[in-house]
Amino acid sequence: MSEREAAPAPVDICGLSLSELTALCTEAGLAPYRSRQLFEWVQRRAGAGWAEAGNISGADKARLAEGLSWGLPVPLEERVSADGTRKFLFQLADGETIETVLLDYRKDRSRSHATLCLSVQVGCALGCPFCATGRAGWRRNLSPGEITGQLLAVTARMRRENASFHVGNLVFMGMGEPFYNMNAFLQAVRILNDARGQNIGARRMTVSTAGVVPGILRLAAEAPQIGLAVSLHAGTDELRDVLVPLNRRYPLARLMEACREYVLRTGRRITFEMALTEESATETQARAVAALLRGLPAHVNLIPVNIVAGSAARRPTGARVAAFRRLLTERGLAVTIREERGADIEAACGQLRQSGAKRKGAEAICHLPSSDKTSQE
Ligand code: SF4
């Protein structure tokens, strides 16, 4: 290599599947069983670096470390809500920061049923007006290792309190649009699904999209077991153009066509998220939503938004939300009113942001770290 040629950047071990790791280990002259041991250290035991892989010799580690980097996102801040929700601010290798939210963690369980909400991008390009992440803009996509790394870092942290801590459910609803980082998202899913690693069932994973039509169809083709949630928020293009600007690219007619196609191909029900403000929780919108979803296996989550500082939006009254729900249920839809968690630590619905864009009072109405404590019609 000439002096002017840069050495290839080390590959992040947290973003490698077992077969990819095996290929690299073989190339380095290691026996295949070494790669299985290593994968277990990285993915199952959530090891934080080479020093922890006790059964790999120092010489082998040194050989592997030439081409492989191993480090977890660094926790800069951890905030715990009064309801137990935890929000982690992580720093990545290049200094960028992301947030990850842990919900429903119960210490008294030997095997936790915790749900982890993962980010997929640093920021987001979609610019939904009330979303703190969107307001900060898009900076870059996360790599597969940075996506799995959030789970591994949270697991390593929580196992200091409870050795049997395990994430049971994953929601890809944190910062960013997963379908605009599709390859990394799918790679992270494959790794976290691996029985020799975290072994999180695909049916225990849900991905939320603002409505990226090609992504919905690709999910149906490549990962049909993963649950799909669509941030609908409005039943008319006029209102959705404002609340979800991506609607101008994929208007409701195209979005619903893709949803019908998804159902046809997968046989799965779709969750539709409806953040409600005093302005959007109207009879007109409820009727429009019911018409859009007619005949589709669908579940609607209603999320009354929090008071939005710096925005004209207002939280709807309980009576208005109840009327909205009634209009939908009367038309045969399954409806849940979601109880938000973690709002006091800005871990709720769309409140995630980078550290540099923090604490300006913006709250959000879209992507949804949520509770399983819901009231259901
Ligand atoms: S709500 Fe979701 S899609 Fe919209 S800007 Fe925020 S992170 Fe992006």
Please give the full DSSP string across 251-288, using - where no structure is assigned: -HHHHHHHHHHHHHHH---EEEEEEE-TTT--HHHHHH
Both 80 and 57 in one domain: the answer is no
Domain span at residue 108? 74-376
Both 83 and 180 in one domain: the answer is yes
Last residue of a domain, one of 23, 48, 69: 69
Please work out whether the CB of residue 144 comes within 6 Å of at least one atom of ligand 1: no
- C-alpha dihedral over 150, 151, 152, 153, to 10 degrees? 50
Under the banding of pLDDT at 50, 70 and 90, the label for residue 338 is: confident
Please work out whether the CB of residue 134 comes within 6 Å of at least one atom of ligand 1: yes
The pLDDT of residue 362? 32
DSSP state letters, 182-207:
HHHHHHHHHHHH-TTTT---GGGEEE
| 133 CA distance to ligand 1 middle (Å) | 6
Q: Is the pLDDT of residue 6 over 60?
A: yes
Both 145 and 285 in one domain: the answer is yes
Both 31 and 161 in one domain: the answer is no
Both 282 and 337 in one domain: the answer is yes
Under the banding of pLDDT at 50, 70 and 90, the label for residue 342 is: low
Ligand 1, from 98, 118, 126, 242: best to mutate by most atoms within 8 Å of Cβ? 126
The pLDDT of residue 308? 52
The pLDDT of residue 167? 95
Q: Is the pLDDT of residue 55 over 80?
A: yes
Catalytic (active site) residue 99: yes
The pLDDT of residue 23? 94
Length reported for the chain: 377
Under the banding of pLDDT at 50, 70 and 90, the label for residue 105 is: low
Average pLDDT over residues 75-85: 92
In a domain, 5, yes or no: no
Both 26 and 127 in one domain: the answer is no
Q: Is the pLDDT of residue 175 over 80?
A: yes
Give every CB contact of residue 279 below 8 A, 6+ residues apart in sequence: 312, 313, 314
CATH of the domain at 305: 3.20.20.70
What is d(CA 57, CA 176) in angstroms, rounded to the nearest whole number? 39
CATH of the domain at 63: 1.10.150.530
Pick the residue whose CA is nearest to atom 5 on ligand 1. Answer: 134
Last residue of a domain, one of 69, 87, 117: 69
Q: Per residue in 302-311, pLDDT tens? A: 998 865 555 6
Catalytic (active site) residue 363: no
Both 78 and 100 in one domain: the answer is yes
Both 267 and 119 in one domain: the answer is yes
The pLDDT of residue 202? 96
| 111 CA distance to ligand 1 middle (Å) | 32
* Backbone φ and ψ of 25, nearest 5°: -65, -40
Average pLDDT over residues 76-94: 93
In a domain, 6, yes or no: no
Q: Which stretch of 54-63, 115-124, 197-206 has the lowest confidence by average pLDDT?
A: 54-63
Both 65 and 152 in one domain: the answer is no
Q: Where are the beta strands (DSSP E) in 9-55?
A: 11-12
Both 37 and 105 in one domain: the answer is no
Average pLDDT over residues 120-144: 89
Both 65 and 129 in one domain: the answer is no
Q: Among the options 14, 128, 349, 366, which is catalytic?
A: 349
Terminal Cα-to-Cα distance of the chain (whole angstroms): 66
Q: Is the pLDDT of residue 365 over 70?
A: no
Average pLDDT over residues 233-243: 95
What's the mean per-residue pLDDT of the chain? 87
> Higher confidence at residue 196 or residue 338?
196
Which residue type occupies 40? Answer: E
Both 90 and 59 in one domain: the answer is no
Q: What is the number of structural domains in the chain?
A: 2
Last residue of a domain, one of 49, 69, 89: 69
Which residue type occupies 87? Answer: K
